A and B are shown apart, each in its own frame.
Chain A
Amino acid sequence: GAGVSQSPSNKVTEKGKDVELRCDPISGHTALYWYRQSLGQGLEFLIYFQGNSAPDKSGLPSDRFSAERTGGSVSTLTIQRTQQEDSAVYLCASSSGSNQPQHFGDGTRLSIL
Chain B
Amino acid sequence: GQNIDQPTEMTATEGAIVQINCTYQTSGFNGLFWYQQHAGEAPTFLSYNVLDGLEEKGRFSSFLSRSKGYSYLLLKELQMKDSASYLCAVRLSQGGKLIFGQGTELSVKP
A and B found bound together: yes
With a cutoff of 8 Å between Cβ atoms, the chain B residues found around residue A107 in the complex are 42
Among candidates A41, A43, A50, residue contacting B98 with C-beta atoms closer than 8 Å: A43
The size bracket of the interface on A is 20 to 34
The size bracket of the interface on B is 20 to 34
Closest chain B residue to A101, Cβ basis: B45
Do A48 and B96 contact each other (CB < 8 Å), given the known contacts A41-B102, A42-B101?
yes
Do A99 and B95 contact each other (CB < 8 Å), given the known contacts A43-B43, A43-B87, A104-B42?
no
Closest chain A residue to B44, Cβ basis: A104
Q: Does B12 contact A (CB under 8 A)?
A: no
Task: Indicate if the CB atoms of B100 and A33 lie closer than 8 Å.
Answer: no
Q: Does A98 contact B (CB under 8 A)?
A: yes
Closest chain B residue to A3, Cβ basis: B42
Among candidates B33, B48, B97, B102, residue contacting A48 with C-beta atoms closer than 8 Å: B97
Give CA–CA (A91, B41) in the complex, Å.
Answer: 10
Q: Does A15 contact B (CB under 8 A)?
A: no
Q: How far is the CB of B51 from the nearest CB of chain A, in Å?
A: 13
Interface positions of B (Cβ within 8 A of A): 4, 30-31, 33, 35, 41-45, 48, 87, 89, 91, 95-103
Interface positions of A (Cβ within 8 A of B): 4, 31, 33, 35, 41-45, 48, 50, 56, 58-59, 91, 95, 97-99, 101-107
* 11 further interface pairs, Cβ-Cβ under 8 Å (given A42-B100, A42-B101, A102-B33): A31-B96, A42-B103, A43-B100, A45-B100, A56-B97, A95-B96, A101-B45, A101-B48, A102-B96, A102-B98, A105-B42
